Chain A
C-alpha cells in the first residue's frame, strides 16, 4: 500500500530532551516536507526537501533540523524541544514533475507535547 508513515504517533517529552520524529514514504517521491498544525494558525511548513541531500527552510524552521540521506526517509529533529513546539506534525511527500499540480500525500500525524 502506498503510504507515508510517521513515528511516533504520540509523544510527551520534557524541555531540552532531544527527539526525532521519523517519516518514511514508499512511493519513490522526490519531494518531502514537514508541517506543523496549530489551532488558529493552520498548517505551516517547517522544512522541505527536493531530493536526497537537498533540504531547505520553510516558514517556521527555527528549533528544527532535518536530513535527507535516503530518498524514502526524512526525519525531523528537535535538538532542544521547548513548550512552544507542542503541536501536531505532518510529514508529506509528492512527485517532482514539471507540473505544479502534484498531489501531496500526508502521513497520519505526530502529536507532540513538550512539558
Chain B
C-alpha cells in the first residue's frame, strides 16, 4: 500500500458544483495532515491544515478519520479559480516539532468549467 494515495483524476466539474477529494495514508502514527494547492507550473501552497475535529474555511471543508486513515477535502460552489491540482500531504512525524517527513500524494487535478 502506498504511503499516501489520492483519488485518481482528473475531475472536471461545472461552476457551482460540489466536489470531494479523498486521500488515504498507510502510517497510523502520522502526526499531521494538510491539503496543498498547486497551480500549473507553480509552487505548492498551503490550502488547509486538517485537524481531528475537522475544519472549515469558507467553501472548503477538510476532515480527518484516523480510524480509517483517510482525509477528505470538500469544495462547495466551485469557482473557475478553484482549477488547480490538490495535494494531500501527511507528516509522518519522525522528528518532534518539525515537518521533517512530509509525504505528498500525487495530486488530483480539478478543472472547473463555465
Q: Contact residues of A with B, CB < 8 Å?
A: 30-31, 33, 35, 40-45, 48, 50, 56, 90, 94, 96-104, 106-109
Contact = CB atoms under 8 A, between A and B. Distances in A.
A90 B42 CA distance: 10
Nearest to B105: A42
B97 interface: yes
Contacts of A48: 100
A33 B43 CA distance: 14
Contacts of B93: 100
B97 A109 contact: no
Interface string B24-50: 000000011000000001111110010
A97 B99 contact: no
Given A42-B87, A101-B49, 11 more contacts: A41-B106, A42-B106, A45-B102, A96-B98, A99-B32, A100-B93, A100-B97, A104-B102, A106-B43, A109-B41, A109-B43
Nearest to B85: A42
Contact of B99 (A43, A98, A100): A100
A101 B43 contact: no
A97 to B, nearest CB: 6
A50 B95 CA distance: 9
21 contacts: A31-B99, A33-B99, A40-B106, A41-B106, A43-B44, A43-B87, A45-B101, A45-B102, A56-B100, A90-B44, A99-B32, A100-B31, A100-B93, A100-B97, A100-B99, A102-B99, A103-B46, A104-B46, A104-B99, A104-B102, A109-B43
Contacts of B104: 35, 42-44
A45 B104 CA distance: 9
Closest 3 CB pairs of A and B: A106-B43, A100-B32, A42-B106
Contacts of B49: 101, 103
